[in-house]
Amino acid sequence: MAERKTKHKVSENKIKEVSELVKLIDSNNTVFLASIMGLPTKQFQKIKKSLGDKVIIKTVKKRALIRALDNSKKEKVKQLKDNIIENNSILFSSLDPFDLSAILSENKSPVKAKAGQLSNINIEVEAGPTDLPAGPAVSELGALGLQVMVKDGKIEIRESKIIVKHGTIISENAASVMGKLNIMPFSVGFIPLAAYDDKSGLVYTELKIDKEETLN
C-alpha cells in the first residue's frame, strides 16, 4: 500500500502575515535587512521609537520573509534572500537605503565589554589620569602590561596600550579593567545586511555612509 503524504495546512495568521509583508515590499522604495543579534529589547524599542513613522520595522521568521519576497512583483528584490539570517529585522521606508543606513548608525549605543566575548576591534587604553584610587587596581592594570604611576592618590596611565587585540577573546581581567575605567568599546544597534532600492532596481550589500563611493 502506498504511503499517504501528509499535507500541512498553513494557518490563516501565517497567510495574513506573508500577505502584509508582500504589500509592504511592493509599496515601499527601500526594503532593508538588518541584523538585531545581541540587541536588547529596550534598545530595539528605543531605536524603533526614534525612527517614528519614517520606517516600518517587522521581525518575522525566515521562512515567512522568503515566501513574501518570492511573492513580490519586484523581481530584483528576491536577491535579498541570500542575505537573510535568523536574527534579523526587515525595514520598509521611502528613504534612500544609504540615508536609512546613516540614521541607523547614528542610533547605536555604546556598551561595555564582557569577559569571554570575541573582540572585532583592537581595544586601547589611552594614557592619562584616571579616577581610580591607588590600591588593588594597580596590580590589575599592571597584569595587562599597562605602565602606571600614582599621582595625588589616583592612578595615572603613563603610556597608551592595546589590551585586547582584534580577533581575540576578552579576559576577565581586561573586562574588569575596562569596566573600572568606564571604557565602552562596542556599540549595539541595527547592523545593515543588505537593501533593495526600487529607484535603481538594485540590491546593495555594502551600505557605507558614503553613497557615491559605494556606487562607484
Is the CB of residue 143 less than 8 Å from the CB of residue 106? no
**Burial level of 66, CB count in 10 A (0-12/13-18/19+)?**
middle
Q: How many helices (H) and strands (E) does the chain have?
A: 7, 12
pTM as predicted: 0.72
CA-to-CA distance for 75 and 38, rounded, in angstroms? 32
- Nearest Cα to 92, choosing from 56, 122, 116, 121? 56
CA-to-CA distance for 33 and 151, rounded, in angstroms? 51
- Nearest Cα to 146, choosing from 135, 162, 132? 162
- Nearest Cα to 157, choosing from 184, 181, 126, 134? 126
Residues 6+ apart with CB under 8 A from 23: none
pLDDT, tens digit only, all 216 positions of the chain: 445 555 556 688 889 999 999 999 999 999 999 999 888 898 899 999 999 899 999 999 999 999 999 999 999 999 999 999 888 999 999 999 999 999 998 888 888 999 999 998 999 999 999 999 999 999 999 999 999 999 999 999 999 999 999 999 999 999 999 999 999 999 889 999 999 999 999 999 988 655 555 555
CA-to-CA distance for 160 and 40, rounded, in angstroms? 32
What confidence score (pLDDT) does residue 36 get? 92
What confidence score (pLDDT) does residue 1 get? 47
What confidence score (pLDDT) does residue 40 get? 87
Residues 6+ apart with CB under 8 A from 50: 107
Residue-wise DSSP of 102-164:
HHHHHT-EEE---TTPBPSS-EEEPSEEEEEESSHHHHHHHHTT--EEEETTEEEE-S-EEEE
Is the CB of residue 98 less than 8 Å from the CB of residue 209? yes
